[in-house]
Chains A and B, each alone.
Chain A
Amino acid sequence: AQSVTQLGSHVSVSEGALVLLRCNYSSSVPPYLFWYVQYPNQGLQLLLKYTSAATLVKGINGFEAEFKKSETSFHLTKPSAHMSDAAEYFCAVSSGGSNYKLTFGKGTLLTVNP
């Protein structure tokens, strides 16, 4: 079985500050890992994904995440927050193979203060 834990249901940062959203996973096989973003009243949009290539993954809008197997973590970062980054962020894990079901974390709501 696979699972995802997102630490902090709500993170608040100032504009220009570092964004750090935490994600830990469990998986019985090498995982594929994803970060999705959801803006108000919209569907989920892929930010970035880890698929066993480079452990540091760059995504859209200046976000990146680092896969750390020893820590079973896949934290999302952005050096400088922008007001437009305010949204809900979801970490997800897939075991790949013939089972393509994604398991999602409960989400982290990011607030950016002026």
Chain B
Amino acid sequence: NAGVTQTPKFQVLKTGQSMTLQCAQDMNHNSMYWYRQDPGMGLRLIYYSASEGTTDKGEVPNGYNVSRLNKREFSLRLESAAPSQTSVYFCASNRGGGGSTGELFFGEGSRLTVL
């Protein structure tokens, strides 16, 4: 009954360090997403993968890269972390494909602090 699993849940980085957030879903969903949540800003889409083998930029992609490793896994990489990337990151997935309404299933979030 895992759904969407994100690791790590908490991370502190220094400016300029790199890290990768991992996400895995066990619902056989086609589409996966990375959002960031900041106070008063709601959720903003960073990158998404509509299907295995494809990735596309969202609203705020600068400073991030993603990899859709297989159908289950979608990782988010910060190559050179900046304080502006301090945020809570959410991975989400949905069924995708014809007939999907776009309902998202979310992980519990990864809280990242960049000093």
Chain A residues at the B interface, C-beta cutoff of 8 Å: 9, 32, 34, 41-46, 49, 51, 90, 92, 94-96, 98, 100-107
Contacts and interface: CB of A to CB of B under 8 A. Distances in A.
Given A9-B40, A94-B101, A96-B100, A101 B90 contact: no
Contacts of A103: 45
B96 interface: yes
B5 to A, nearest CB: 11
Interface residues of B, number: 27
Highest count of chain A CB atoms <10 Å: which of B35, B42, B102, B104: B102
Nearest to B100: A100
A32 B45 contact: no
B107 to A, nearest CB: 6
Highest count of chain A CB atoms <10 Å: which of B94, B100, B103, B106: B103
B100 A102 contact: no
A94 B102 contact: yes
A86 B106 CA distance: 20
Contact of A90 (B42, B48, B94): B42
A106 B45 CA distance: 13
A103 B100 CA distance: 16
A76 to B, nearest CB: 15
Contacts of B45: 101-103
B50 interface: yes
A46 B94 CA distance: 12
B43 A42 contact: no
